[in-house]
A and B are shown apart, each in its own frame.
Chain A
Amino acid sequence: EKWAVTRTKHPPTSLALQHFDATYSVQLGQLWPSVRAALLSERKYGALLNHFSHDAVLADLEAQGCRDFLSDTATETQPCSEQKPEVATEEESVSMKKCDSDSQQLAPLQLSPNIKCLVFPRGDITRFKPARPDMYGLLGYYLMDAASVLPCLALDVQEGHNVLDLCAAPGGKTLALLQSQAIGFLCVNDASVSRMLRLRKVLHSYVPKPLLTDEKLRITSFDGTKWGEIERNTFDRVLVDVPCSTDRHSLMEDDNNIFSKSRTGERRKLPELQLELLLAGIEAACPGGEILYSTCTLSQIQNLGVVEQAVYLARENHGIQLQVVDLRPLTHMFRKTFHFAPDLPLGEMVIPHLAANFGPIYMCKLRRLT
Chain B
Amino acid sequence: TLQSTQQSHELRPLSRKPATELSLRSLVDMGFTDSQAEHINDAMSKLRGGSAAKHALSTLTALFVLGLNPSSVLKLLEKCPELYTVKESQLQQRIGNLRKLGLVEGSLQRVVSHYPQILTVSVKAIKHVVVFLREKCLFTIQQVTDILRDSPAIVMENMGQLEYKFQYVYFRMGVKQQEMVKSRLFRFPLDEVRCRHCFLERRGLYQTPDKKGQTLILNPKLDSILGVDQDTFVTHVANASTEEYDVFKRLMAREWQEEEQWQGSIEVD
**Interface positions of B from 160 to 218, Cβ below 8 Å from A:** 164, 167-168, 171-172, 199, 202-205, 208
Q: Does A40 contact B (CB under 8 A)?
A: yes
User: In the complex, what distance in Å separates the CA atom of A4 from the CA atom of B213?
Assistant: 12
With beta carbons under 8 angstroms apart, the residue of A2, A25, A36, A354 that contacts B247 is A354
Chain A interface residue count, Cβ-Cβ cutoff 8 angstroms? 19
User: In the complex, what distance in Å separates the CA atom of A190 from the CA atom of B239?
Assistant: 43
User: In the complex, what distance in Å separates the CA atom of A258 from the CA atom of B74?
Assistant: 67
Contact A33:B248 (CB < 8 A) given known A3-B168, A125-B254: no
Interface size class of B (residues with CB under 8 A): 20 to 34
Enumerate chain A residues within 8 angstroms of B254, measured Cβ to Cβ. 42, 125
Contact A4 B248 (CB under 8 A): no
A38 to chain B, nearest CB (A): 8
**Interface positions of A from 20 to 41, Cβ below 8 Å from B:** 21, 25, 32-34, 36-37, 40-41
B212 to chain A, nearest CB (A): 13
Contact B172 A37 (CB under 8 A): no
Enumerate chain A residues within 8 angstroms of B243, measured Cβ to Cβ. 123, 354-355
**Interface positions of A from 275 to 303, Cβ below 8 Å from B:** none
Smallest Cβ-Cβ distance to B171: which chain A residue: A3
Contact A36 B204 (CB under 8 A): yes
User: In the complex, what distance in Å separates the CA atom of A355 from the CA atom of B244?
Assistant: 6
B233 to chain A, nearest CB (A): 14
Contact A21 B250 (CB under 8 A): no
Contact B202 A40 (CB under 8 A): yes
Enumerate chain B residues within 8 angstroms of A25, measured Cβ to Cβ. 204
Q: Does B251 contact A (CB under 8 A)?
A: yes
Contact A125:B244 (CB < 8 A) given known A3-B167, A42-B255: no
Q: Does B135 contact A (CB under 8 A)?
A: no
Enumerate chain A residues within 8 angstroms of B246, measured Cβ to Cβ. 123
Residues of A within 8 A of B (CB): 1-4, 21, 25, 32-34, 36-37, 40-42, 123, 125, 353-355
10 closest cross-chain pairs (CB), A and B = A3-B171, A33-B203, A37-B202, A354-B244, A40-B202, A354-B247, A37-B203, A3-B172, A355-B243, A36-B204
Q: 10 other contacts beyond A34-B240, A34-B244, with CB at 8 A cut-off?
A: A1-B167, A2-B171, A33-B240, A41-B248, A42-B251, A42-B255, A123-B247, A353-B244, A354-B243, A354-B248
A-B CB contact pairs (8 Å), 19 listed: A1-B167, A2-B171, A3-B168, A3-B171, A3-B172, A3-B208, A25-B204, A33-B203, A33-B205, A37-B240, A37-B244, A41-B248, A123-B243, A123-B247, A125-B250, A125-B251, A353-B244, A354-B243, A354-B247
